[in-house]
Amino acid sequence: MNTLRATLSGFALSGVLLATGAAPALADTAPSGNASPSAAAAVTKAQKLAKMKVLTQDSNASTGKWLDAMNQHMARKPAIEKYRFNWNTDYCTNSPDTQPGGYDFKMGCWRHDFSYRNYKSLVGNTAFKRDHKKRVDKALLRDLYSACDYRPWADPYPAAQRARLKAACRRAAKTYYGAVSAAG
């Protein structure tokens, strides 16, 4: 798996997980019982906020760290379970999770849900909107644009059609970003 992760981008890896059917089934998993209550109690609010910030930055590195944390969560590793994060998601809520051309927004929407749910729970809605919302929404746009950069190795579309599909994907990403920026 480490070799695979090293050769594929974060979103390509997530696409592999989705293609196998692993991520949707695991997205609704309950928090693990592996982390002992004393280990969970040992994590302070400041430590949880610091971890959240690492996982929710507007950068490709942060997206990679979030994907690593998500994989640790699915494996119920104590290193991430001790934070007791809320991993529940409805992906892109009432908007399509996928776009024509094979573009998949699920991982970007999951990270966005993760950010909103955990920050609001930890600091409250007012502090979230003041201190974190803009960055989290920009991270969503970056993640969705990254999804729009996906191109299958055996692309069934001619170059001109792929260019139109990619442009449409980026417009959809911008629309999703506009919606969460305005409403979220």
Q: Based on the structure, what is the number of domains in the chain?
A: 1
Element (H, E) at 55: helix 45-55
Could you tell me if 151 and 162 are in contact, meaning their C-beta atoms sit under 8 angstroms apart?
yes
Q: Which amino acid is at 116?
A: Y
**CATH code of the domain in which 113 resides:** 1.20.90.10
Quick one: tokens of 137? 């929404």
3-state secondary structure of 105: coil
What digits encode the pLDDT tens for the residues 126-164? 999 999 999 999 999 999 999 999 988 899 999 999 999
Question: What is the reported pTM?
Answer: 0.79
Range of the domain at 64: 2-182
